[in-house]
């Protein structure tokens, strides 16, 4: 067996997606998320996923007022209560925690644009949609800033323009969970760009994990399909974690958190209310799928380029300090 075909998931792992009901009260959202993470852990989950923007309502109007400054890392609890809550929940529950996403505020040099005077720093505010990943000791393993901003306009249905407020991240995020192997983390609209999952899978990820908040227009058509497509193309597991739907909110999340196996079978799928869905992931299933349909040995990089290769791929290499 060549190293390319070595097992990519070292042992079976149970993953849980928490389809969280959040409201306008950030402290209440954080405390509720903690309870649900503990509940998922009590059900045997080793990796727990929260939804996109789990500490706030979702929408451009909310990003600045809910944003927290993460850098320099680690932030003290008064600067980032969400970081503190996620780290504590991961530790308390003893799980790897993909902390959905939160609006992040980067100020001055932390925004990555060089060095400014204090006055100038005040003016240089950059917002990101950022996911934080913690280990079972509560240590931050990685951050992912949403790479593809959700800017769409479907006349009469939905118009959304994250780029009015947010800046885009510029790294593909692959996180090593030492006991299990590598996962890829992306956020919502990122899933529509198949390169991210393909790069991650070809670089050894066993799962593509995507906190997301599709809506009642695109959700019914594309949410499950995107999950199955990324799983099928790459012969890996995919987990999509949505907020619960709240018809009193300005944005109506689709819900339907789901977990897909490497054959693109949906193992479990929620409806729209608050719930936890979970599934056992098994490296044997990945290997069996790849043996049966041996895409990995049949690619024609003499005919088209390998998107996962070369200097052009920008990976999260540690943390954005
Ligand atoms: O791609 C879609 O249809 C929805 C994406 C989205 O809601 C998001 O990126 O937050």
Strands 102-107, 125-134: pairing is antiparallel
Determine the pLDDT at residue 120.
Answer: 59
Query: In Å, how far are 57, 157, 158, 228, 230 from 154, measured between CA atoms?
Result: 22, 5, 5, 23, 24
Segment 255-307, tens digit of pLDDT: 999 999 999 999 999 999 999 999 999 999 999 999 999 999 999 999 999 99
Residues 6+ apart with CB under 8 A from 118: none
What confidence tier does 2 reach under pLDDT thresholds 50, 70, 90?
very low
What confidence tier does 123 reach under pLDDT thresholds 50, 70, 90?
low
CA distance 43 to 268: 15
Determine the pLDDT at residue 122.
Answer: 58
* Residues 239 and 16 sit within 8 Å (Cβ to Cβ): no
Please give the distance, rounded to the nearest whole angstrom, from the Cα atom of residue 118 to the centre of ligand 1. Answer: 36
CA distance 251 to 243: 11
Cα atoms found within 13 Å of the Cα of residue 54, Cβ hemisphere only: 36
Q: Is the CB of 251 under 6 A from ligand 1?
A: no
Mean pLDDT of all residues in 101-106: 96
User: Would you say residue 121 has pLDDT above 90?
Assistant: no
Indicate if ipTM > 0.95: yes
> Could you give the domains of the chain?
8-295 (3.60.110.10)
> Which of these ranges, 121-125, 157-161, 237-241, 244-248, has the smallest mean pLDDT?
121-125
What confidence tier does 128 reach under pLDDT thresholds 50, 70, 90?
very high
**Cα three-residue angle 39-47-72, rounded to 5 degrees:** 105
Determine the pLDDT at residue 107.
Answer: 86
Backbone CA torsion sign across 183, 188, 189, 191: positive
Segment 14-70, tens digit of pLDDT: 999 999 999 999 999 999 999 999 999 999 999 999 999 999 999 999 999 999 999
Determine the pLDDT at residue 1.
Answer: 42
Determine the pLDDT at residue 4.
Answer: 55
179 is annotated as an active-site residue: no
* Residues 256 and 224 sit within 8 Å (Cβ to Cβ): yes
Segment 170-228, tens digit of pLDDT: 999 999 999 999 999 999 999 999 999 999 999 999 999 999 999 999 999 999 999 99
CA 116 to chain centre: 32
* Residues 34 and 85 sit within 8 Å (Cβ to Cβ): yes
Choosing from 152, 159, 217, 255 the residue with most ligand 1 atoms within 8 A of its CB, the one to mutate for a pocket test is: 152
Determine the pLDDT at residue 79.
Answer: 95
146 is annotated as an active-site residue: yes
Please give the distance, rounded to the nearest whole angstrom, from the Cα atom of residue 213 to the centre of ligand 1. Answer: 6
What the block records as the tokens of 158 is: 């939905």
CA distance 206 to 212: 19
Q: Is the CB of 188 under 6 A from ligand 1?
A: yes
Q: What pTM was estimated for this model as a whole? A: 0.94
CA 163 to chain centre: 19
Determine the pLDDT at residue 310.
Answer: 82
CA distance 104 to 161: 17
For 213, the 3-state DSSP assignment is coil
User: Would you say residue 234 has pLDDT above 80?
Assistant: yes
Q: Is the CB of 150 under 6 A from ligand 1?
A: yes
CA distance 257 to 224: 9
Q: Which residue has the higher pLDDT, 207 or 314?
A: 207
Rounded to a whole number of angstroms, the distance between the first and last alpha carbons of the chain is 39
Q: What is the DSSP letter of 293?
A: S
Determine the pLDDT at residue 170.
Answer: 93
């Amino acid at each position: 067996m060549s190293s390319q075909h070595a097992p990519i998931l070292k042992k079976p792992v149970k993953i849980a997606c928490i389809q969280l009901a959040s409201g306008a009260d950030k402290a209440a959202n954080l405390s509720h998320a903690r309870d649900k993470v503990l509940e998922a852990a009590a059900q045997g989950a080793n990796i727990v996923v929260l939804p996109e923007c789990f500490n706030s309502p979702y929408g451009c109007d909310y990003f600045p007022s809910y944003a927290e400054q993460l850098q320099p890392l680690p932030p003290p609890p008064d600067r980032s209560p969400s970081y503190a809550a996620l780290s504590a929940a991961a530790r308390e529950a003893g799980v790897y925690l993909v902390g959905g996403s939160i609006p992040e505020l980067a100020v001055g040099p932390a925004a990555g644009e060089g060095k400014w005077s204090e006055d100038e720093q005040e003016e240089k505010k950059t917002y990101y949609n950022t996911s934080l990943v913690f280990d079972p000791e509560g240590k931050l393993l990685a951050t992912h800033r949403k790479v593809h901003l959700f800017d769409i306009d479907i006349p009469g249905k939905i118009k959304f323009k994250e780029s009015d407020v947010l800046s885009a991240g510029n790294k593909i995020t692959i996180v090593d969970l030492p006991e299990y192997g590598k996962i890829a983390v992306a956020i919502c609209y990122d899933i529509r760009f198949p390169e991210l999952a393909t790069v991650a899978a070809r670089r050894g990820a066993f799962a593509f994990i995507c906190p997301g908040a599709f809506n009642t227009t695109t959700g019914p058509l594309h949410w499950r399909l995107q999950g199955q497509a990324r799983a099928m193309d790459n012969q890996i597991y995919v987990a999509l974690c949505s907020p619960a739907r709240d018809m009193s909110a300005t944005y109506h999340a689709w819900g339907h958190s789901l977990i897909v196996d490497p054959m693109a079978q949906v193992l479990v799928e929620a409806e729209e209310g608050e719930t936890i869905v979970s599934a056992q992931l098994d490296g044997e299933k990945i290997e069996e799928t790849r043996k049966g349909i041996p895409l990995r040995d049949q690619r024609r990089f003499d005919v088209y380029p390998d998107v996962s290769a070369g200097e052009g791929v920008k990976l999260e290499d540690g943390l954005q300090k």
